[in-house]
Amino acid sequence: MLDLLIQNARIVDGTGMPAYYSHVGIREGKIAIIAPVVKEEAKEIIDAKGLTLTPGFVDSHSHDDMIMETVPACAHKLEQGVTTQIVGMCGHSAAPLSEQYYDEGLRICMALCANGVNTDLPSRTDFKTYLNNLREDFGTSMGFHIGHGTVRTAVMGFERRKPTADELERMKDHVRLAMEAGALGISFGMIYTPGTFADTEEMIELCKGVVEYGGDMTIHMRNEGARLVEAVEETLRIVRETGIRCIISHHKASGGPNNWGKVRQTIPMIEQINREGYTVFLDQYPFIASSTGLMSEIPSAFLALPRQELLDKLADPEGRKPIAEAMLGGRDPEAAYERLMIGASKAYPQYSGMMVPEAAKLHGKSRVDTILDVLMADNFASTEISFGMCEEDVEYVMAYPRTMIGTDGLWYPDTFGAHPRAFASFPRVLGHYVRERGVVSFEEAIRKMTSMPAALYGLKGKGMIREGYDADLCLLDPDTIIDAANYKDWNARCPGLKYVFVAGEAVVTDSVHDGRLLGKKLLRSW
């Protein structure tokens, strides 16, 4: 007997092929049968007439490893159709932490989640220990990367120099242990402290160890604006010298009109290296605004200071001056930060969703001082939203056949405010960019959300509607699904999502998660 029979479904199976109609039977968490006629009895039957059945979405770029222990349900992902997440991105992972540089390691974790991450040192001394101690049940399944920035910090703190031979070997040991424990690969965050202190040779050496295990490299490149082309060139050099499979994180041209259009230079570069026989893909979130920790506005030289020393400087008007000057970089203080919005703030929730110039007027201080006051009050745990991209570039990148979809969403538990991408990226693609804009077909969009990342990251049994595959599925209305969340109403639920199934069980009904935790850790076997 089947546990569940989904009848009369319009099936978009994740491969990019045209839709077809059939019944889907599920038994013991797996897809047992796909057929136009199913005679076997079922404990439960769902009539999917008028709806489309797809594989559960794979969030190819997530930071939910920072909150998964305190918010394991990940309802904000399930309620947009995500059943699997790839975490440990942008050089940030939840392990390893070291006793010597614990404060610095904690700061990396807090850059992504101030209130949710468990930073218990004994459970995080290395990546294997971290994975072994991690709880087994989550709302979504999760595959893990080890973060270069976290590894570098564990070994040498925020030192602005090349590692010694011994330090480099210790970093490589951390990476090898992570790969042996089941990590998917290594991630780099080259605009963040301490990634910005690393040179290309250091990255190459660490990637060599990952390649030995068949792992991948994801990379938030050194620059996504004026020096975007040079950053892509560095990334492709690493690929050519190591042969590593590469995913360029949230590929875009940011920073304003002077940089818009540069993706039309970089995508041909990426296509060329693929023609040479290497493997380079992209991920993308479907918005013109990016988001990261507000502390990223503080130059790396100051972020590298011990936390208390930095706080003391910010509290002292004279100590604050050189930081403010470095942040402005010669810009007019009355013209700076025009495109920057306050994201999450616990201390100043009234500023969430407000552009910095507007917040500064209410705050009664300069724009720079407003940013620094918010950071101090939040203990550096605020986020920002930056409107630096254009729609034409977003659509151009999305149309590229090797582009996957990810949220890159930052959400701090118990904090007001977030970028809506954390709650609505996948419905936005299907509603806005597919149905309204026609950037890609519905079938192609589903491929970008399912089989493409599943194959690239080696997620067996995920990403397609096939007999024997995991019954992680979405049943949705392609005519009504859309992103309801915005920068003010950032966590609004998306319409059009009838059911989300994890392991064959409907954990989301009418876009509301029932709280069950049926996801699991996805560890790569070597």
Q: What pLDDT is recorded for position 303?
A: 83
What's the rounded mean pLDDT across residues 287-296? 90
Say if residues 410 and 92 touch (Cβ distance below 8 Å).
no
Domain 58-293+388-456: which topology? Answer: TIM Barrel (3.20.20)
Look at residue 67 and tell me whether its pLDDT is greater than 90.
no
C-alpha span between 431 and 114 (Å, rounded): 32
Q: What pLDDT is recorded for position 115?
A: 52
Q: What pLDDT is recorded for position 229?
A: 98
3 state DSSP class of 146: strand
Q: What pLDDT is recorded for position 413?
A: 72
Say if residues 52 and 108 touch (Cβ distance below 8 Å).
no
Q: Which two tokens stand for residue 207?
A: 């990637």
C-alpha span between 40 and 251 (Å, rounded): 47
C-alpha span between 149 and 169 (Å, rounded): 15
Domains of the chain, residue spans? 2-54+464-514, 58-293+388-456, 296-386
Look at residue 117 and tell me whether its pLDDT is greater than 80.
no
Percent of the chain with pLDDT over 70: 98
Q: How confident is the model at residue 118 (pLDDT cuts 50, 70, 90)?
A: low
Q: What pLDDT is recorded for position 121?
A: 76
Domain 2-54+464-514 class, CATH top level: mainly beta
Q: Do domains 2-54+464-514 and 58-293+388-456 have the same CATH topology?
A: no
Say if residues 298 and 329 touch (Cβ distance below 8 Å).
no
pLDDT tens, position by position, 364-383: 999 999 999 999 998 888 88
Beta-bridge partners for 82: 57
Q: What pLDDT is recorded for position 125?
A: 93
Pairing of strands 505-509, 497-502: antiparallel
pLDDT tens, position by position, 445-462: 999 999 999 999 999 999
Q: How confident is the model at residue 123 (pLDDT cuts 50, 70, 90)?
A: confident
C-alpha span between 355 and 364 (Å, rounded): 14
pLDDT tens, position by position, 160-203: 999 999 999 999 999 999 999 999 999 999 999 999 999 999 99
Specify the amino acid at residue 451: S
Closest CA to 60 of 343, 286, 312: 286
Claim: this prediction has a pTM higher than 0.85? yes
